[in-house]
Amino acid sequence: MKTLLRFFVPCLLILSLHAQTQPKYAVLKTDNKDTFLDTVNQLADRGYRVLIQGPFTILRLDATPPDTYRYLRLEEKGGPAQFTNWINEQGAHGYRWLAHTGFLEKAPHPRNYEYRNSPHGALGPSKGRDLSSLYEEGYRPVGIAYFSHALGAGTKEMYFEHELGQPAHASPFPPGSEIQIADAMRAGNVLKHVDELAKQGYRFLASHDSNKGGGIAVMMEKCVEDCSGRYEYRYFDAKDAAQIERDLHSHGNDGFRVLPDTLTVRPHLLERDTHFKRTFTYRVLASKDAAQLEQGLNAADQEGYTPLDFVWRVGWTAEGFLVLEKETMVSPGQ
């Protein structure tokens, strides 16, 4: 027994020290090669979990081997019917669409998921009533899938997710209400619609596919309890790291918080709950090198910052910036 202990104790210490020396965040340059998925799963075997994917893929040390995560590529092949069948097959095996990434994720203790899209109508993307019907059945918006076709232009479909075995919500909306779409060609005009709906007791739900060619849109849901005027919104553009950080600091000091779901698409929105006094500070990291980004991210973590997602620069060339957030004040009793 003593011999066995002399053998196993050093091994356990080595494993413990190895875990301690791993950085909290790992960063990989994103690509479409098979070896990239292999590398992601190798990191997952060491306890990492995918958080964000953009020009770089960001993973966080979240699990303890052997209870680790597993990943598949999100394959948007064929048309909506073929894709829906494929993703539901993966959902039946415990894989879940990881929003805003190109991955499906299987948790250490997986559950099963089902996916449905809200089909386009004759004049474009689905309307509020169609979206509300899915929502009332217990489905929640997860992402937009993009499809290319041999003939004609590409198409997009909004997909919703439901965890199997969980009850549907009998009526998450007040009687006579449904999901509303704030849809316009410019971010400022979308915000006007959002503000109008917020005054009527609606709150941001998710980004949406616009009915207008080249337009932008968001979904708004009616609060179960009256929230007329409770939530306020702002938007920002992305030009460079300094400008983004400056604008977010200003909004954060006024109590507005970035809605991460809107970072990867326009309009980029912030929300303020007027019932609570909270303030936020933001840091924006340029993403040019994986090692440099990993170093900056782990250093910011020591200061209490959390990564939200990449936001893309507006202009002729695409450039992603990583947005980090830290809450600086919260009202007592919240």
For residue 28, tell me if it sits in a domain.
no
Residues of the chain with pLDDT under 50: 4-5, 7-18, 122-123
pLDDT at position 316 is 66
* Nearest CA-CA partner of 157 in 100, 73, 76, 264: 76
Split into its structural domains, the chain has a count of 1
* 3 state SS for the chain: CHHHHHHHHHHHHHHHHHHHHCCCEEEEECCCCHHHHHHHHHHHHCCEEEEEECCEEEEEECCECCECCEEEECCCCCCHHHHHHHHHHHHHCCEEECCCCCEEEECCCCCCEEEEECCCECCECCCHHHHHHHHHCCCEEEEEEEECCCCCCCEEEEEEEEECCCCCCCCCCCCCCCCEEEEECCHHHHHHHHHHHHHCCEEEEEEECCCCCCCEEEEEEECCCCCCCCEEEEEECCCCHHHHHHHHHHHHHCCCEECHHHCCCCCEEEEEECCCCEEEEEEEEECCCHHHHHHHHHHHHHCCCEEEEEEECCCCCCCEEEEEEEEEEECCCC
pLDDT at position 157 is 86
Give the C-alpha separation, 172 to 137, whole Å. 9
Q: Which residue has the tokens 């990564």?
A: 307
pLDDT at position 12 is 46
- Please tell me whether the peptide bond between 141 and the residue prior to it is cis, using omega within 30 degrees of 0: no
For residue 65, tell me if it sits in a domain.
no
For residue 205, tell me if it sits in a domain.
yes
pLDDT of 267-286, one tens digit each?
999 999 999 999 999 999 99
Give the C-alpha separation, 34 to 126, whole Å. 35
Is the separation of the CB atoms in 45 and 22 below 8 Å? no
Residues 6+ apart with CB under 8 A from 327: 278, 279, 280
For residue 224, tell me if it sits in a domain.
yes
Q: Which residue has the tokens 């509300």?
A: 132
For residue 314, tell me if it sits in a domain.
no
Give the C-alpha separation, 13 to 16, whole Å. 5
For residue 197, tell me if it sits in a domain.
yes
pLDDT at position 6 is 53
pLDDT of 16-67, one tens digit each?
444 568 999 999 999 988 899 999 999 999 999 999 999 999 999 999 999 9
CATH number at residue 179: 3.30.70
CA quadruple 306, 307, 311, 317: dihedral sign: positive
Instruction: Please provide residue 253's backbone torsions phi and psi, each rounded to the nearest 5 degrees.
Output: -65, -25
For residue 217, tell me if it sits in a domain.
yes
Is the separation of the CB atoms in 224 and 174 below 8 Å? yes
4-12 own/partner pairs: CB under 8 Å, 24+ apart: none
pLDDT at position 109 is 95
Give the C-alpha separation, 274 to 231, whole Å. 6
For residue 223, tell me if it sits in a domain.
yes
* Nearest CA-CA partner of 206 in 235, 238, 234, 179: 179
Give the C-alpha separation, 37 to 42, whole Å. 9
Give the C-alpha separation, 56 to 75, whole Å. 19
Domain that holds residue 191: 173-229
Degrees (nearest 5) of the Cα angle 30, 206, 52?
20
pLDDT at position 77 is 81
pLDDT at position 114 is 97
CA quadruple 226, 195, 261, 271: dihedral sign: negative
